[in-house]
Amino acid sequence: MKKHREPAENCRLKSVTVSMESSGKYFASLLYEGYSCENQAADKDYSNAKILGIDYAMQGMAVFSEEIELEKAGFFRKNEKRLAREQRKLSRCVKGSHNYVRQKKKVARCHEKIRSQRRDYLHKLSRRIADQYDIVAVEDIDMKAMSQCLHFGKSVQDNGYGMFRNMLEYKLEWKGKELIKVDRFFPSSKKCSKCGKIKKELKLSERVYHCTCGNEMDRDRNAAINIREEARRMLAA
């Protein structure tokens, strides 16, 4: 057995949930009562808060208002050829045979590896951000609707942005910090982060934002800065 961590002292075990993966691995999740979250803040002071703005990006999952080093994600794309090869082998097996059962587990292990790599990457990134920033601002976009439009389904699901947002929210809450969701209709991409002017039209193919004030920068970085400043305005209000 691999134990994730020791339970906190003076806690009472409430329930144990046992689950099994398609690959045959078992997991036991233990729920304890009385666990106190670390560094909970009673009174929140936003006057000197360090705020990070995050804008969703199809390539690389997200773009930040500040420079943050990211590893190259896209774990499904990296393992796609291997997964396709194992699935082809499975399709040639006779259903119910010994080879079919064995190959089915191989396919399940491929899916499990992709899922585990993605979760590990998102956990580490969300933890790093939760440690460094007091407030994180994101756009309240509908990821399910995003995956169903313009044939973006594979890219959206591979990025795991919705999962990343959930991880950020509870990790920040543990530390007494906050995740702010900016309205999805806020013109973060069309607004200039320098002068505040809003473009009437902005094509999806335009990856560099150009403004009459002379501002020229990456479209997603410009949006992330606008999201950060909108969160600052919401906190002040």
For residue 173, which of 117, 230, 216, 130 has the smallest C-alpha distance? 130
Residue-level pLDDT at 128: 94
Asked if residues 154 and 76 have their Cβ atoms less than 8 Å apart, the reply is yes
Asked if residues 125 and 164 have their Cβ atoms less than 8 Å apart, the reply is yes
In Å, the largest CA–CA distance within the chain is 69
Residue-level pLDDT at 6: 83
pLDDT by residue for the chain (237 residues), tens digit each? 788 778 778 888 999 999 998 888 899 998 888 755 554 444 566 678 899 999 988 777 888 998 887 777 778 888 889 999 999 999 999 998 999 999 999 999 999 999 999 999 999 999 999 999 999 999 988 777 766 665 665 666 777 888 999 999 999 998 989 999 999 889 999 999 999 999 888 888 888 999 989 889 999 999 999 999 999 999 887
DSSP code of residue 95: T
Percentages (nearest 5) of helix, strand, coil residues in the chain: 40, 20, 40
How many Å apart are CA 128 and CA 122, to the nearest integer? 10
DSSP code of residue 8: P
pTM above 0.85, yes or no: no
Catalytic residues: 55, 139, 220
Using DSSP bridges, classify how beta strands 208-210 and 135-139 pair: parallel, antiparallel or unpaired. unpaired
Using DSSP bridges, classify how beta strands 135-139 and 26-33 pair: parallel, antiparallel or unpaired. unpaired
* Structure-token match 């403004």, residue found: 211
Residue 83 CB coordination number (10 Å): 16
Left, alpha or beta for 196 (phi > 0: left; psi -120 to 50: alpha)? Answer: left
Residue 212 makes CB contacts below 8 A (sequence gap 6+) with: 197
Residue-level pLDDT at 143: 72
Residue-level pLDDT at 24: 84
Residue-level pLDDT at 144: 73
